[in-house]
Chain A
Amino acid sequence: MVKLRSVTKNFGGSATAVQDVSFHLRKGEFAFLTGASGAGKTTILKLIHMLHRPSSGEVRVSRYTSNRMKRRDLPQLRRRVGYIFQDFRLLENLTAGENVAFALEVTGMPRPKIGPRVQKLLGQVGLAARAQALPRQLSGGEQQRVAIARALANEPLVLLADEPTGNLDERATAGVFGLFQQINASGTSILMATHDAELIRQHRDMRVIELEQGRLVFDSAGDMAS
């Protein structure tokens, strides 16, 4: 599903954001990507989303490979890889429903099909009744749910979540995390970057990949890019 093979990423100068990282996230797997701030978590997610190109090594997502990736294939990849941000990244002038519909419109889905699909997605994240609310009228947890619904719009194979609970209180965090578990149970792989040690402790059964200064220092699955 997602495979990193000896991936290194330099941004120029002497700083190396990610160094020789390898791991394999299988179909339907849930993994925490953890480490201190600046450890390289976000860079790893952006490499998988192909927002960054590896300086060396290779990132493979489904049938897409970073070394052979063409610009015209990026939209197809992005539709198969959902991305969730810590700051939600919703469009402030659009309602919750419109924010979700937006992800369907860009794929060229016929308009009559968009409405029912949006309702279904908002229902899935427990916000069917808030479709007409603007982001500023929603709580942080609700905004993150809208972002999740948007990320799920195109039925992604994998969800990348970058500190999705970083801006949420304990209760909202539990709600959003529960939602991730439900999504994962339906077969979608999830790679969740977090430095919330308590959250990881509460879910010891899940895979943990730990980074330190750009290097992979621990993988509870024990396999390195197998």
Chain B
Amino acid sequence: MRTIREAFLGIRRAPALTILSVMAIGLSVFSIGLFALTAHNIDVALSEVERRVEVVAYLRDDASEELIEIARHEIESFPEVQSARYISKVEALYEASRELTEFSDVYSELQVNPLPASLEISLLPDHRTPAAVEAVADRLTSYHFVEEARYGREWVDRIYSLRRVAGGAAVILGLAFALGAAVLIGIAVRMSVLARAREIAIMRTVGATDSYVRRPFLLEGLVTGIGGGLLALGLTWGTYLAVERTLLSLAWLPDLWSATGLAFAGILGMLAAGRAVRRELRRLDVY
């Protein structure tokens, strides 16, 4: 009870400082929020591209349909495979003429269908990695009626490189912004601690324990941190709406990310406050 009273008294005593701290934390966490929004949308876009990753096995013209059907069932039982669709020579020609209309005259004049039959194999979400795709392609080429297996190796590699870069940058920049936010919270709480240095000294004089002195400051740090987190969330939401309405379609952050961001801001506030008050207590008492 005293902890809550003292924490809010601390906030009320220096409202300007508290507002400044919340704004500082808010802006720092907002930077993280913007980055999270960007990273999430890159991720969403990558997932969409990744979903289209498939392996196409082009078949020899002399392969019998019965044999192909048996093989198709076998391929569908591979642990990496979601589905395997057979495209006959006729279907391949039909799809080609439908998709490439500018060559429709060429297709209609053909005496012999030059397009091979194929098996289009889509992979399960967890098996769209370059290694898994290559492994499936290698297994397909072991069938004697498979002429060639293609899977757009460069695209798969690029998607994974991009995802790695995005993930790495998110971690590095996130940590940098978090460090900046922690420093700001530390300064704000330290100012609050210094403003109450006399009170802390009196508490120590009459026999208060470190944890008794520390508790209200920790709560104050938590409240300030959460306040900053809410501000950051609001600013990120505002940015999301502005971009969504004027520039491009975006996906909003998953609820778990928002909740984690808030919790992160709160914990950051508490840790920074704890550090600031511990330093002050160490300064006061030499033992």
Q: Scan B251-287; emit 1 where CB is below 8 A from any A CB, else 0.
A: 0000000000000000000000000000000001111
Q: Does A71 contact B (CB under 8 A)?
A: yes
The stretch that binds A, out of B29-37, B152-160, B199-207, is: B199-207
The stretch that binds B, out of A24-32, A35-43, A50-58, A204-212, is: A50-58
Q: Does A218 contact B (CB under 8 A)?
A: no
Size of the chain A interface, CB-CB below 8 angstroms = 27
Q: Does A107 contact B (CB under 8 A)?
A: yes
Contact call A89/B208, Cβ cutoff below 8 A: no
Contact call B212/A52, Cβ cutoff below 8 A: no
Contact call B206/A53, Cβ cutoff below 8 A: no
Q: Does B198 contact A (CB under 8 A)?
A: yes
Q: How far is the CB of B188 from chain A (nearest CB, A)?
A: 21
Contact call B204/A78, Cβ cutoff below 8 A: yes
Chain B's closest residue to A46 (CB) is B286
Contact call A83/B207, Cβ cutoff below 8 A: no
With A89-B198, A91-B199 known as contacts, the answer to whether A78 contacts B206 (CB < 8 A) is yes
Contact call B287/A89, Cβ cutoff below 8 A: no
Q: Out of A72, A75, A151, A153, which one reaches B208, CB within 8 Å?
A: A75
Q: Does B52 contact A (CB under 8 A)?
A: no
With A91-B199, A106-B212 known as contacts, the answer to whether A53 contacts B287 (CB < 8 A) is yes
Contact call B286/A106, Cβ cutoff below 8 A: no
* Whole-angstrom CA separation of A69 from B202 in the bound complex: 20
With A91-B199, A105-B2 known as contacts, the answer to whether A154 contacts B207 (CB < 8 A) is yes
* Whole-angstrom CA separation of A75 from B287 in the bound complex: 11
Chain B's closest residue to A69 (CB) is B287
Contact call B205/A71, Cβ cutoff below 8 A: no
Chain B's closest residue to A81 (CB) is B207
Q: Does A177 contact B (CB under 8 A)?
A: no
Interface residues of B in 196-225 (CB under 8 A from A): 198-199, 201-210, 212
Size of the chain B interface, CB-CB below 8 angstroms = 18
Chain B's closest residue to A151 (CB) is B206
* Chain B positions within 8 Å of A52 at CB level: 286
* Whole-angstrom CA separation of A105 from B208 in the bound complex: 9
Interface residues of B in 2-45 (CB under 8 A from A): 2
Q: Does A74 contact B (CB under 8 A)?
A: yes
Q: Does A3 contact B (CB under 8 A)?
A: no
* Whole-angstrom CA separation of A106 from B199 in the bound complex: 12
Q: Out of A53, A83, A105, which one reaches B205, CB within 8 Å?
A: A83
* Whole-angstrom CA separation of A120 from B181 in the bound complex: 49
Q: Out of B202, B284, B286, which one reaches A53, CB within 8 Å?
A: B286
* Whole-angstrom CA separation of A51 from B203 in the bound complex: 13
* Chain B positions within 8 Å of A76 at CB level: 207
Mind listing 19 A-B residue pairs with CB under 8 Å? A49-B205, A50-B287, A51-B284, A51-B286, A53-B286, A71-B285, A71-B287, A74-B285, A74-B287, A76-B207, A78-B206, A89-B198, A103-B206, A103-B207, A105-B2, A106-B208, A106-B212, A153-B206, A154-B207
**Interface of B with A (CB < 8 Å)?**
2, 198-199, 201-210, 212, 284-287
**Interface of A with B (CB < 8 Å)?**
49-53, 69-72, 74-79, 83, 89, 91, 102-103, 105-107, 150-151, 153-154
